[in-house]
Structure 1
């Protein structure tokens, strides 16, 4: 059977650039899945995407499905025939449904007796017959939030369709897809090569489009952009800022990328560079340039979709367009400086944080109180912390943040520095929102740490206090992200603060606004602790390790983390499985007994194995207890691994439930002491083998 090359291209009006890559990947996935389901093997499949097209190129594909045998089971032989051998209605009905006689059915033996079966060979369909429906189904399954119809067509897609190409080698596969008849005609660049292109063969697709100024391969186009941008940046000893999302969007905007470097007036550099970068990236889709220290340079790179005979005109046009936007940012920056940052506190008193929890100024005062408490606990500057907290939300009432919401905290940091605030104060205003997302950096100053924690704890306590916790996938206040931020700061900044204490302080600051403080504390703390699992699972920590530590309910997230690392290390030891099983056995024994307090009587240690276990405990405890006191859990558990042999020997030769009550109690006390030593780190009995 011969192999073929198949090309499918859907030509559209300009597709959404932000979702072009997603559409390409989804189309490839959907077509691949359906080809596999149809039993059509192929050598290679690729997807292509440019602003006006989505395409699939399949190489080395069979022209037909293979024939297949379908088997349908009917009634059992016992139920298919009467005692005289004549078929029952069940057998007759089954045969009739299959379009054959009962005598044509075959019998197959099973472990439950013989059954009647109908087998038939189904001839595979041709590729030409299968592809149209397969491709239409794939298009229908694409992740498109909003679909549209064009003209009188009732068929929907993300953008109006303009043409459809469907070819097998050099022939057109007749089909109607998205209401368009298939052909072998595609179109090149809208301006450089607007005429129709007749493809002589499916395999000519990429080359034909390249000759028409279209790089159809999304990844190749992106690599061209990367290379051009880097070359232009290197020419002025700068580095381009290329966020992944912007990189994908720009790639989705152009068919024939031509990068050009332009400039803006150096006077704009006194404006917070985050504002300049924000407007150039978000509004103009430019790549900004910075020096080796990350300082913005008076250049930007735009990626044009045409190869102009006079690129200077394009450069000048972009410079003309960006100038008013930078001027706006400069204007807002100057306007904001006409009054002190603290003067905006009055506006915060008129802005609602949450209807039941008061204004933004109410929140600011609570943050100041809690942050001061935290700063005192961690050795921070309490006076500076209160000053920074009082200013922390003031920039929300500024012109700059009103125009550029993403600059909250950043704008306030600039204004505070310009007013001569201490460096940790101005820095903390910026750091209060860190971390903003998973993997983001944390605050570096103790002042910033204090405010970042206080802000999140205040939100958590307040929302739980009015009984609006996250439910299912709904988390309107972002409390899951808030909780992870709290845990990350406490752990990664190595702060030995108690979650209970912090939550209690946060709830107390709300005074009468929270009707049931004790329930709020309990619920908020439980929610924080529930985040441990998702946080550590994201790090690849096994669930049983997390459960082993959670069983002890450590008060400090830092202590929790140290125990997690120790148990994860212990779990990898060769002795871990046996010790976990032994601890489980000990836990089960002790759960059934009431063991009175008291010392182990060495005179009652009569079996060699129990003497050895006791002596090993005596030798280990002086080594382990100092480690536990220093929260040095990893070497502590490593020391306890030496207990494997004496524990195994104990259970092999010692009867714990002895008839002699004194002997039994002494052995239970020995196991209690053993169990307590392991429980000083985690409940390793919960570890799985």
Structure 2
């Protein structure tokens, strides 16, 4: 079957846009092919700085013919109905329709519509033209004389030409014309090689031919292969000089999008720059020159860097290396100056400037926020085993590096530079570590703080933010989360679970609330007034604030916890069953209960007890609805008649305390094991005892006995949420 080759040749496409553009081109074209009935065998997209391409294999030569029947009005229907039917079916006379009989509805007209399939090349012409004209670049531009015309073609950079061929492997492919000549762009089978090393025109036919000829013209079209070449040659070059490459996947992807013919070279800089923190050196070289750094065998940074050129220079790259060295030397000189300037001012001496910096118009200044975090960190410290004074000191200094020169130049180094400056001025190592770690974890792949001081400050920072934004009603909505509150909540959850911390969420929210109340924030009063319908009860201000904000925020945390547990493989219904009780604020306890419940339900006792619970719950739900009452309370022992109901009541009496005791000492597996002992009595009860008997007193007593089953299981989880 025929293959399609499409190449869109332009000026340089920004490296950051290339991966998304490849995906978009492939999806837009192949989805439209499938919608048109042209099911293909395979497709692959390519990108270089100057071209975006797609190859689609195994496309049918034409669409399948279509035959369909369109039902029309009854025979003898009004003329208007017949005329409308003819028009919709594409018929010129009712004689072209056939008549069919329906035993109930009588005779009616049926039009047989046959549509021959279009040649694939005609369909592809329309598909690709529409794709080009509506391509979703994040930013695009117009150019040339055609740019002044209405509906001018736009592209990320000026589009020069298009390669578009279609045909089977055994034949000369046809050239597809898209009718874009009015925009100054023509299609054909001509592409161009490397801008400097082989700029001449190249005639191509299909993917293999196109790739091979371009490689001879110093263009590697597959970005994955360019990245592999860069990575391998960079590692080999570093190894040959006695170093190791500091790998950087993000930089590798970016550099792979900057070159068509990667040539790996090594440069150097003065040893004196190694006095700068290694992260500053790496960030300077990475951000400004898109170069990799290397390290010694012992892990220390070396005064070398690896660059990737797009040229095979006649001098072996000496001039290219020298040019990069000059730029890097200048950039490192700036970084060294910034770093040495920062060291002249102590972190605490920078804090007064935060009085003039607004964190949020409703939440106050950065100075106020730092004061709240300091207070909250001191309160959390004893709960996590941290030194109170160290936690407060760390919280006070943690944000100070935001006002330093290095962080002003490289914002991504915030926190890390705080650690370096704290160590340089003689702070305790735990305080310095907390300056860096209080931002963590910043994402799912980021490490979680483990030092108690870092934990206290990280929790205080995130919880203060969450409580504040919740109170001013700046909550995440749908896909919008401008203040990264979901990330903050997940960070709190990961810190607590990873360190097995027994903390009460409600208490933490209450501590954070106190910080806002101490500062007299008016939004707290406004929030409570709104919640209490204008009743300004100052005595109950914090209680009202906690009741409304805390409950809602706790539910938000539980939603984040659900997501995390599901990603770890926990059953969603078991998570819902544990969280449905609404009586727990300890995340570690919740996770343990979910784990215990999952193990229990994997056993036969667990499965059968669940079935017994559901049977009891269903009967109670039906009877309570019919009787208009709830069956709660203890059954009357004197009304227990059958041996099986007596045995069940006795089992409940003996097992309930055992389960409660295990639950109280947080032995959730033991509580489940105790519950499992109910299974024989529950099975026997349903096998031998009729609940809905004529004797109303006996019926009520048996429903109360069923309620005991419902209540007993409800101490561990809401079994009604469990599937199966």
| Partner SS, residue 175 of structure 1 | coil
**Equivalent pair of 2:399/2:415 in contact (CA under 8 Å):** yes
User: What is the Cα deviation at residue 451 of structure 1?
Assistant: 0.6
Q: 326, 334, 337: which is aligned to 1:328? A: 334
1:549 corresponds to: 578
Q: What is the distance in 1 between the residues matched to 2:510 and 2:206?
A: 73
2:158 corresponds to: 160
**Equivalent pair of 1:587/1:675 in contact (CA under 8 Å):** yes
**Equivalent pair of 1:185/1:199 in contact (CA under 8 Å):** yes
Q: 169, 175, 178: which is aligned to 2:178? A: 175
User: What is the Cα deviation at residue 643 of structure 1?
Assistant: 3.7
1:151 corresponds to: 144
Q: What is the distance in 2 between the residues matched to 1:275 and 1:364?
A: 26
Q: 1:65 to 1:672 in 2, by over 3 A?
A: closer
Moved more, 44-53 or 96-105: 96-105
User: What is the Cα deviation at residue 383 of structure 1?
Assistant: 1.4
2:641 corresponds to: 606
**Equivalent pair of 1:582/1:685 in contact (CA under 8 Å):** no
User: What is the Cα deviation at residue 448 of structure 1?
Assistant: 0.7
1:400 corresponds to: 406
Q: What is the distance in 1 between the residues matched to 2:100 and 2:666?
A: 68
Q: 627, 631, 637: which is aligned to 2:672? A: 637
Q: What is the distance in 1 between the residues matched to 2:633 and 2:64?
A: 77
Q: 469, 485, 496: which is aligned to 1:479? A: 485
2:250 corresponds to: 245
The number of aligned residues is 679
Q: What is the distance in 2 between the residues matched to 1:234 and 1:623?
A: 65
Q: What is the distance in 1 between the residues matched to 2:24 and 2:209?
A: 24
User: What is the Cα deviation at residue 424 of structure 1?
Assistant: 0.8
1:493 corresponds to: 499
Moved more, 139-148 or 188-197: 139-148
User: What is the Cα deviation at residue 565 of structure 1?
Assistant: 2.5
1:533 corresponds to: 559
Q: State yes or no: 1:218 paired with 2:223.
A: yes
2:686 corresponds to: 651
CA RMSD of aligned residues (A): 2.7
User: What is the Cα deviation at residue 491 of structure 1?
Assistant: 2.2
Q: 572, 583, 596: which is aligned to 1:566? A: 596
Moved more, 423-432 or 309-318: 309-318
**Equivalent pair of 2:269/2:325 in contact (CA under 8 Å):** yes
Q: 1:65 to 1:495 in 2, by over 3 A?
A: same
2:76 corresponds to: 81
Equivalent residues in 2 for 1:650-669, closer than 5 Å: 650-657=685-692, 663=698, 667-669=702-704
Equivalent residues in 2 for 1:494-509, closer than 5 Å: 494-509=500-515
Q: 1:319 to 1:528 in 2, by over 3 A?
A: farther
Q: 399, 418, 443: which is aligned to 2:424? A: 418
1:148-207 Cα deviation digits (max 9, x unpaired): 111122111111101111123433233334642211110000011011112255641111
Moved more, 220-229 or 413-422: 220-229
2:361 corresponds to: 355
1:615-646 Cα deviation digits (max 9, x unpaired): 54456456544542342324533553454443
Q: 1:576 to 1:141 in 2, by over 3 A?
A: farther
User: What is the Cα deviation at residue 443 of structure 1?
Assistant: 1.0
Q: What is the distance in 1 between the residues matched to 2:249 and 2:115?
A: 49
| Partner SS, residue 723 of structure 2 | coil
Give the unaligned 5+ runs of structure 2.
147-151, 529-541
Moved more, 299-308 or 364-373: 299-308
User: What is the Cα deviation at residue 376 of structure 1?
Assistant: 1.4
**Equivalent pair of 1:570/1:576 in contact (CA under 8 Å):** yes
Q: State yes or no: 1:346 paired with 2:376.
A: no
**Equivalent pair of 2:355/2:366 in contact (CA under 8 Å):** yes
Moved more, 160-169 or 242-251: 242-251
Equivalent residues in 2 for 1:290-301, closer than 5 Å: 290=295, 295-301=300-306
Q: 1:390 to 1:37 in 2, by over 3 A?
A: same
- What is the TM-score of this pair, normalised by structure 2? 0.87
Give the unaligned 5+ runs of structure 1.
none
Q: What is the distance in 2 between the residues matched to 1:418 and 1:617?
A: 66
Q: What is the distance in 1 between the residues matched to 2:717 and 2:663?
A: 12
| Partner SS, residue 55 of structure 2 | strand
Moved more, 567-576 or 189-198: 567-576
Q: 1:90 to 1:449 in 2, by over 3 A?
A: same
**Equivalent pair of 1:167/1:202 in contact (CA under 8 Å):** no
**Equivalent pair of 1:349/1:360 in contact (CA under 8 Å):** yes
